[in-house]
Amino acid sequence: GQSAAAGAAGATSFDFDREYLTADELVDTSAEMPAGSQWAYVIFERAVTAPAKSLLIGSVLDTDVHANKCRIVLSGRVLSTIDPNNKEEVGRLRVFKNKQKVGAIKRVVDEHTVIGKDLFKKETDITKFLNLKV
Does residue 106 carry a pLDDT above 90?
A: yes
The amino acid present at 113, given as its one-letter code, is: T
- pTM here is 0.60
CB proximity list for 89: less than 8 A, separation 6 or greater: 82, 83
Residues 61/66/72/78 CA torsion (nearest 10 deg): 60
pLDDT at 132: 78
- Greatest mean pLDDT among 28-32, 68-72, 130-134: 28-32
Tell me which residue of 59, 53, 47 sits closest to 6, measured CA to CA.
Answer: 53
Mean local confidence (pLDDT), 23-38:
85
| Average pLDDT score over the chain | 83
Cβ neighbours around 23 below 10 Å, total: 13
Contacts 24+ apart (CB under 8 A), 67-74: 74/6, 74/26, 74/40, 74/42
pLDDT band at 9 (very low <50, low <70, confident <90, very high): very low
Mean local confidence (pLDDT), 92-100:
89
